[in-house]
Amino acid sequence: MLDLFKRKTEDAAPKRSWTERLAGGLAASRDRLSGALAGVFRRRALDDEALEELEGALLTSDVGVAATAHLLEDLKARYRRAGADADPRALLRESLLALLAPLERPFAIGPERPFVIMIAGVNGAGKTTSIGKLAKWLQQQGLSVLLAAGDTFRAAAREQLAVWGERNGVSVIAQAGGDPAAVAFDAVGAAAARGIDVVLADTAGRLPTQRNLMDELAKVKRVIGKARGGAPHAVLLVLDANTGQNALAQVAAFDRAAGLTGLILTKLDGSAKGGVVAAIAREHPVPLAFIGVGEGIDDLRPFAAAEFVDALLPADA
């Protein structure tokens, strides 16, 4: 089982560059937006028909009703100001960048030691994989890392984290069938004893029946705080970019239960539409700390709004 997992990850190792994979993932949305903009160019006016076409393209790209309305209003205002020679593509890029830029916030590891990062998200969102990638990223910043296998309900999840531990050369604290909160508690203690800089605490995205995921998450958070006053210092929600508008509901629910400090948006390499970033920015802004574009260890980077807009709506298409 472990071998299978390893091979799968290696096969998916980056052959294309980061930019290519991000652009590849967003290709469908990019084509839709470019198609709608072509209509504006054809008619040489941002008229009702053009706006409707753009609206359709934005909605189909997961931008959501609120952010779509905002973007169209913003675009109209920019168009009015820019005058007859306006380049609608450049203006829409400006609108998008203005909307997304506030989500770009450098993810900083504070002075607390250990600095505890709790990773939350629904099952399959990409929590464990993102932890593997984050461990590498943190080590590249010169920080030592310890992983806590908090998804105790599934043996496979534990094994998967162990593989990422091995791949990164970092320790993993796990308990067979133990309580998630207890694992997190132990991990924080172990990190303190060993002088480790950062703890990455995995959590369950699905629970055995009759237990409420959000209650459990709040409990894990509380127990981490008992292990170390002030911890966790960051709570990151992992979102699968393919979940579309449902991602917004997840942001709201997890924020309520655990107080999110940031987001990780994964699987932007697939056929994700990407527009959900705009929806989050408009409706429930939480800093987008990282984006993921693959299953490999290097497939995670801090979110950069300009890079994202370039992939979604390049200047020169």
Ligand X SMILES: Nc1nc2c(ncn2[C@@H]2O[C@H](COP(=O)(O)OP(=O)(O)O)[C@@H](O)[C@H]2O)c(=O)[nH]1
Binding residues among 150-209 for ligand X as defined by CB under 6 A: 160, 205
Span interacting with ligand X, options 27-35, 86-94, 116-124, 248-256, rule CB under 6 A: 116-124
Least Å from the CB of residue 91 to ligand X: 31
Least Å from the CB of residue 203 to ligand X: 9
**Which of 126/232 has CB closer to ligand X?**
126
Instruction: Determine phi and psi for 209, rounding to 5 degrees.
Output: -50, 155
* CA–CA–CA angle 299, 111, 197 (5° rounding): 55
Least Å from the CB of residue 151 to Mg ion: 5
Instruction: Determine phi and psi for 234, rounding to 5 degrees.
Output: -145, 140
Residue whose C-beta lies closest to Mg ion? 128
**Which of 165/292 has CB closer to ligand X?**
292
311 lies in the site for Mg ion, by CB under 5 A: no
Nearest alpha-carbon partner for 248 in 281, 214, 270: 281
Which listed residue (123, 139, 144, 175) binds ligand X by CB under 6 A?
Answer: 123
Q: Which residue has the tokens 């096969």?
A: 11
Least Å from the CB of residue 273 to ligand X: 14
**Which of 92/125 has CB closer to ligand X?**
125
Task: Name which of ligand X, Mg ion, none residue 294 binds, using a CB cut-off of 5 to 8 Å depending on partner kind.
Answer: ligand X
Binding residues among 99-128 for Mg ion as defined by CB under 5 A: 127-128
126 lies in the site for ligand X, by CB under 6 A: yes
Q: What is the DSSP string of 2-65?
A: HHHHHHHHHHTS--S-HHHHHHHHTHHHHHHHHHHHHHHHHHTS--HHHHHHHHHHHHHTT--H
Which listed residue (26, 157, 199, 200) binds Mg ion by CB under 5 A?
Answer: 157
Task: Name which of ligand X, Mg ion, none residue 70 binds, using a CB cut-off of 5 to 8 Å depending on partner kind.
Answer: none
24 lies in the site for ligand X, by CB under 6 A: no
Rounded Cα–Cα distance for residues 292 and 241 (Å)? 9
128 lies in the site for ligand X, by CB under 6 A: yes
Least Å from the CB of residue 66 to ligand X: 26
Q: Can you name the residues that pair with 300 across neighbouring β-strands?
A: 292
Q: How buried is residue 30: exposed, middle or buried, by Cβ count under 10 Å (0-12/13-18/19+)?
A: buried
Instruction: Determine phi and psi for 2, rounding to 5 degrees.
Output: -65, -40
267 lies in the site for ligand X, by CB under 6 A: yes
Q: Work out whether the CA dihedral 315, 276, 68, 55 comes out positive or negative.
A: positive
DSSP 228: S
Contact residues toward ligand X (CB under 6 A) are: 121, 123-129, 160, 205, 238, 266-267, 269-270, 292-295, 299
Contact residues toward Mg ion (CB under 5 A) are: 127-128, 151, 157
